[in-house]
Structure 1
Amino acid sequence: MSDDGPVMPRGSVSRTARLASLPLGAAGRATLGLGKRLSGQSADAVSAELQQRTAEQLFAVLGQLKGGAMKLGQTLSVFEAAVPEEMAAPYREALVKLQEEAPPMPVRTVHAVLAQQLGGTWRQRFKEFDDQPAAAASIGQVHRATWRDGRDVAVKIQYPGAATALMSDLNQLSRFARLFAVLFPGMDVKPLIAELKARVVEELDYSLEADAQRGFAAAFADDPQIAVPRVVASAPKVIVSEWLEGIPLSRIIATGSREQRDRAGVLMAMLHFSAPQRAGLLHADPHPGNFRLVPDGRLGVIDFGATARLPDGHPEPIGRLLRWALEGKAEEVLADLRAEGFVLPTAQIDAQGVHDFLRPMLDPIAEPRFHFTRAWMQEQAARVADPRLEASRLGRQLNLPPAYLLIHRVTIGSIGVLCQLDAEGDFRGVLEEWLPGFNG
């Protein structure tokens, strides 16, 4: 079977038409807004209404798309804790609907991919195989099965034509990236889409994902806090791994107990900071759908399509910068920021101003316990995004070196999930144990 002919559940023509509706809708709303301003409505009232209408259209389009739109939607969803609830709630609903209602591949296509990837006798490798998918994602779907040795397994199968459809969606979405500023003020979505495009080739090769999963599984084998299912078999477009039962973080975010929220939050932080030291890898997709609390209380991790290779662990300057900022050493912080490329050599920046900009973001690790909330993240987002504030002006003068780009995005995304969880715990203790340079 060739990958040149897309057999995605959504036709490329209908996807392109839906994406093309975004700028047309924006132009119509701008005209409507001008008319309302001329009729005497206040600027704030008109702006709020246009913002709401733009958000509603984005939700509607995202809710009808798969491929790149789902990938971008999932990536942005970890930041929704920074969005006012009246917009965040429809956004969450659109993504849930997108995942639950994604039409599956035809059974004959599933069987054809398995035959191509695992061989014509693929059925002999399973005792049972459920033709109905258990879950759908942006580039593939998961089936539950029983391996020939009796183990329950998850079979992840890539959609034929996924590469073509995914790149087409992301190319289209990059043209309309500015519209997402309505939902995420201060965030430039274009670099995020560019990063997704750059990583698509890697994510489409399930052999690379299987290797990353093997690395995590070996590093966390028999770990009392983190559970990583072992890979049973793999091919470029199929991964068979042990089935991991548990409560998805998305459900804990919606209805979880205080104990579940706090435990999941601390364990997510532990995975984020310990994996680079233990496995030389960073899990780079902190979407709630990729994690679950398993019955024995461990945090289960089930998707390794996006990982960053950090063979030397977390960069030591990060821990040192955090420690000095907490100690109020403004001059040392600025000197290190310059040395690492966060401040351009020509930039004239006040050391105390930089410290005052960074310090509120470090509240979660300033004391032994911290409670992550949506309100806290919304406050930080507003402080950085409001062009009238000094913090926003100073933030625009800072630079993010390429070597830190992915680490930064994953860290912010993980914080977003902690805020969605409403998690409380000893996050400083996690850094003291696992982040190089933090303890001096």
Structure 2
Amino acid sequence: VLRGVTRSAEIIQSVLDEVGDGLFAELDFTQEARHLERFRDLYGEKCPDVVVPEVVWSLTRQRVLTMSWLDGRKPRDLTAEERLLLVSRAAPCLALQLMDSGFVHCDPHEGNMMLLDDGRLGLIDFGLVAQMTAVHQESMASAILNLLTKDYKALVPCFRGMGILSSDSSNDDDLRRPGEDQSFADALEEALSGGGGRERLVQ
């Protein structure tokens, strides 16, 4: 029991440290500007249908980020056909981020995407990015394939590779909660396939 409590405290501390680091990083707009320029350098030519703003360095400081203006419409203002067009622009670039360098825009929600007048995707807000390791890239790619093929039990090693689950043990039995007979892999499969395991998985 004490081992479990200690492990839980370590996980909570790790999460809090990561969140804190992320918050402070997002408050430094010069860092966001560097993220933006790195994204353009890596993917500008490879993702011709995606546009990111240009940084105006002469007017950018730690507390002020000045960029070129992107004129477009948010997804909520688009027709169904235009939303499909936006997705067709976004999906290849998102996949490339995962498969290529591993430098990923981590906040691609509808508030940070727009359909430009020329039909391209405008992508903004580079405060939250991540540089994935090769192990993380491979694990996430495998997880996507396993989801598509509905091989849910195979997600467990993928989650370990991504750091979502502890890699201390390769035994799925170690992931069971006290008094719980169902393994994590079985609960995961049941939950994602529409069974009744969701309640146990999220408790």
Q: Same fold (TM over 0.5)?
A: yes
Structure 1 counterpart of 2:123: 301
Structure 1's 201 and 314: CA in aligned 2 closer, same or farther, altered over 3 A?
A: same
Q: For 2:188, which of 327, 334, 354 is the aligned residue? A: 354
- Give the CA deviation at 1:350: 6.1
Among 21, 24, 34, which residue is 1:211 paired with? 34
**Pair 391,309 (structure 1): closer, same or farther in 2 beyond 3 Å:** same
| 1: CA distance, partners of 2:39 / 2:79 | 28
TM norm structure 2 = 0.68
- Give the structure 2 partner of residue 240 of structure 1: 66
Between Structure 1 and Structure 2, whose CA radius of gyration is higher?
1
> Gapped runs of 5+ residues in structure 1?
1-190, 361-382, 384-388, 397-440
Distance apart, 1:293 and its partner CA: 0.8
Q: Which residue of 1 aligns with 2:88?
A: 266
- TM-score, normalization: structure 1? 0.34
Matches of 2:90 and 2:83, distance apart in 1: 11
Q: Aligned AA for 2:199?
A: S
After superposition, the C-alpha distances for 1:289-319 in whole angstroms (9 at most, x for unaligned) are: 2221111211111211121122649521122
The equivalent position to 1:202 in structure 2, one of 7, 25, 48, is 25
Deviations 1:361-395 (A, max 9, x none): xxxxxxxxxxxxxxxxxxxxxx8xxxxx4222034
**Structure 1 residue 316 and structure 2 residue 123: aligned?**
no
> How is 1:370-409 mapped onto 2 (pairs within 5 angstroms)?
389-396=196-203
- Asked if the contact 1:273–1:314 (Cα under 8 Å) also holds between the matched residues in 2, the reply is no
Shift of 1:325: 4.7
1:68-147 matches, cutoff 5 A: none
Distance 1:287 1:328 in 2: 25
2 CA distance for matches of 1:227 and 1:356? Answer: 41
Q: Does 1:291 align with 2:125?
A: no
Aligned residue pairs, count: 175
Quick one: which amino acid aligns to residue 51 of structure 2? A
Residue of 43, 46, 49 corresponding to 1:225: 49
Q: 1:256 to 1:193 in 2, by over 3 A?
A: farther
Contact 2:107 2:128 in 1 (8 A): yes
8 Å CA contact 1:226, 1:300 repeated in 2: yes
Equivalent residue letter for 2:104: L
CA–CA distance in structure 2, aligned partners of residues 330 and 270 of structure 1: 24
Q: Take 2:112 and 2:159, find their aligned partners in 1: how far apart are those partners?
A: 33
How far apart, in 1, do the equivalents of 2:98 and 2:150 lie?
Answer: 28
Percent identity reads 26
Instruction: Sort the Cα spacing of 1:277 and 1:214 in 2 relative to 1 into closer, same or farther, 3 A.
Output: farther
Shift in Å, 1:287: 3.6
Measure the CA separation in 1 of the matches of 2:18 and 2:187. Answer: 30
Gaps of 5+ in 2: 1-13, 177-182
Q: 1:392 to 1:271 in 2, by over 3 A?
A: farther
State the Cα RMSD in Å: 3.3
How many Å separate the matches in 1 of 2:83 and 2:119? 12
How big is each residue's C-alpha offset from its partner over 1:221-257, in whole Å with a ceiling of 9 and x where there is no partner?
Answer: 254311112223132222232221111x2xx31x421
